[in-house]
Structures are given as structure tokens and as C-alpha cells.
Amino acid sequence: MIRNFMRAALLSTALLGAAGGALAQETVVWWDFLGGGDGIRMKKLIEDFNAEHSGKIEIQATTLDWGVPFYTKVQTSAAVGEGPDVMTYHASRLPLGVSQGSIAEITPDDWAAMGLSKDTFAEATWDAVNVDGKVYAVPFDTHPIVLYYNKDKLDAAGLIGADGLPAGLDGIDNFKAAMKKLQDGGTKWGISQVTADGSFAFRTIYSYLCQQDGSIGIDGAWLADDNQDKLAKAVQVIADWVKEGYNPSYTDYPSTVALFTSGESAFMINGVWEVPTMADLQAQGKLFNWGAIELPVMFNHPCTYEDSHAFAIPANAGKTPTPEKHAAVLEVIKWMSDHSLFWATAGHIPANKAVTETAEYKAMQPQASYAKLTANGVFDPKSKNAGVASPLFDAAGNAFTAAINNEVDAPTAVAEMKAALDGLQ
């Protein structure tokens, strides 16, 4: 028995020495598309990871252009085996990547190695990274749109409830009444919603479609049944805000932020990624008391558009990673998920529920106030033509910009969008 034990020990030592690479530092090539506050925070996370794993794993990161350029680069690089080891990816764009063969499956063994599972994430977030029964990415966050509000103005107008949050905003008429009350009190605009770009406004419109239990549909069956009527009603919500003087017409993204931060509008609909803008201004003493909540219910029930930054592994043609490399990639993903509390300072909701259930996250405002919307969120339909910077968003932009500015009626715009979607391949 002693002889067998010694033999096993010697064999183990020999294998470690022969492998060499098992003890050598693994380099993980990383691509992301993160700029602004997101980019600053991700660089800090990468620095912290590298410091903690010095001599074992090093992330070598490159930031590429967001949107179509990024996904095109991934497709062409993976096709020739030159993609990274791991990358950020929008959950909404996974159907495209899978259809192109650019994304590798995250296997059950991978999930077991990371100690993550379906139960780690909100149901809608988990579903968003599933395509045709397989999982292709690990969610890092959920990033919805939210309603930003000027708490000082709402408090003066009697629109803050006992819980310190806005009250009386649910319902189309109630929300208009609230905006009128704010304007009667001296605020120039009730709300600043992007109106110069129908593709950005589509996030709000899609939310209101979901609040009616409506659906955009899917390839070959876009806007079936009564969904055209429901989508027209969703478009009309913003069109009426413009028509009735609550929201400025043809207003671009930077202008909506400027209107809100200057106090000229009491509300703003925008992504959670603008939270750092507000936090930084307030820290400098340049902003009023503010907050952010999920979108008010205009129709039947809460529902808000969201997407997820996720981690995906490219399917690099002809290039199978070594077991050591693959283990290092999984360690990177797992570590990022475990340390996503810092990522929440960018406004995003960590996808890992264990993080959002911590006392530290629950004390984080306004993030904790809108975290509940992960249970009420709607992702893009699972189509290679859907997701951020997609033909679906292009079709919405081309159709809805004129409609929300009352240049064409909502049903006409919806019909135009459906025709564009039906023409997609």
C-alpha cells in the first residue's frame, strides 16, 4: 500500500512537471464593446481580476466599436479561428451569432464548473441566453430603460408617496395629469423622451406593447393577429405627449439628458446606463434630488424593455482551446459574475441574484428601486433580425420617428414597420 501511494505521488508530480502549462500563466484574450462609464468600470474589474490572479491568469482586453461593427468583427474573426477567448455580447444578438455559427455553447459541464445555473438568474434573463434549447452566454447584467424623475419637483407637486417614491403615475390619463401639474408649477416640459430617433424610442414603445400583452412576433409571423392595433396604441402614447405639449418634438438623445439635468423636464425615459451621469453631477453639487423607477403602467400590467450584457465564447473555427485555457475562461466569467456589485454602480442590475440580494446592493440607490423590474421585463424576440443595432430597430426607426412627432398617424407607421419586417430574410 505504501508502495502504491508513493507511486501515485511520484506520478502526480511527474505529470505536473511535464505539463508545465498547468502551472504556467494562462492568457485570456478578451473583447468588449464598452465605452463611457461602462468602459471605465470594466477596465477596473479587469485590473482587479489580473491582480488577484497574478501569475495564473491574465486578461488581455481590447475594446471595439459598439453595435454592428462589433458583431461583424466577431463573425469574420471566428470564421477563420482568430476570435478572442471570451467576449461581451448582447443577449438580444445571440440568435444572430448562433445562426452564423460564431458562438459556442455554454455546456452543462461549464455551468457546473462555474457553480452557476438557471436558478442564479431571473427567468426572463436566463431565457434570453437560450437559443433552440441550448445556452450560449452567461448573463452579466440586465439593463432596462427606466423613468428618471426630479424628486424635488415631484415633491413640490405632491407626487411623492409615503415610501419616498413617485405616486399616482400609473395610467395614461394619470400620467398626463401628473405632467400637467408639474408644468403648471413652472416646469417647461413634463418629460423628455427621445423623439428624433424612433429606433431609440422603440424601447419605450415595445414596453407599452408588452403592457398590453402584445407581441412583435418572429420571422415569418411579425405582428400577427391584433398586435398591429396594440403597437399603434403604444406609439400613440408618445405621439400624444408631443401633441399635447408634454414632450418636445424631434429631440435627440443628448438633448433629452440636458433637458432633464437642467431641470427643464421633470421626467426622462432613458437607459439605466445614465445613472452614472446623474450620480456624478449630484456628487459635484450640480444636480437636484433625483431617482429612477420602472416605467409606469400605461395599460394592463408592468412591463419594461430590457437587454443583457452577457459573456460568450466564440466558436473559433479549427481552434479548440486547451482544457487549461477553457478553465481559465470559465474562471474569468465566474469571477466577473461574483464581483458584479461594482458593475451595478454603472446603473445595471447584476444578473446574479445572489448579488442583488446582498445588503450592499439593497442600499444602492436608485438601483435597488428598479431592480424588481427584472420580473417584469421583456427582451427582444428571438430572431437573427432582432436585438440592438438590428434590422428590427432600423425598421422601427424608419417608421416611428415621423409618427411620434405626429407627421403620420400611428396605424400607418405600424403598417410600414410590418412591411419592412415581412421583407427581411
For 145-306+380-422, CATH gives: 3.40.190.10
Residue 88 and residue 311 in contact, taking contact as beta carbons nearer than 8 Å: yes
Query: Model pTM?
Result: 0.93
pLDDT digits (tens, 9 = 90+) for 68-106: 999 999 999 999 999 999 999 999 999 999 999 999 999
Residue 308 and residue 113 in contact, taking contact as beta carbons nearer than 8 Å: no
Q: What is the mean pLDDT of the chain?
A: 94
pLDDT digits (tens, 9 = 90+) for 362-374: 999 999 999 999 9
pLDDT digits (tens, 9 = 90+) for 305-357: 999 999 999 999 999 999 999 999 999 999 999 999 999 999 999 999 999 99
Instruction: Give the residue range(s) of CATH 3.40.190.10 domains in the chain.
Output: 23-142+308-362, 145-306+380-422
Instruction: Output the pLDDT for position 23.
Output: 62
Residue 107 has pLDDT above 60, yes or no: yes
Residue 16 has pLDDT above 90, yes or no: no
Phi-psi group of 101: left, alpha or beta (phi > 0 → left; psi -120 to 50 → alpha; rest → beta):
left
For 23-142+308-362, CATH gives: 3.40.190.10
Beta bridge partners of residue 305, listed in sequence order: 378
Q: What percent of the chain has pLDDT over 90?
A: 94
Buried b (16+ CB within 10 A) or exposed e, 324-341: ebbbbbbbbbbbbbebbb
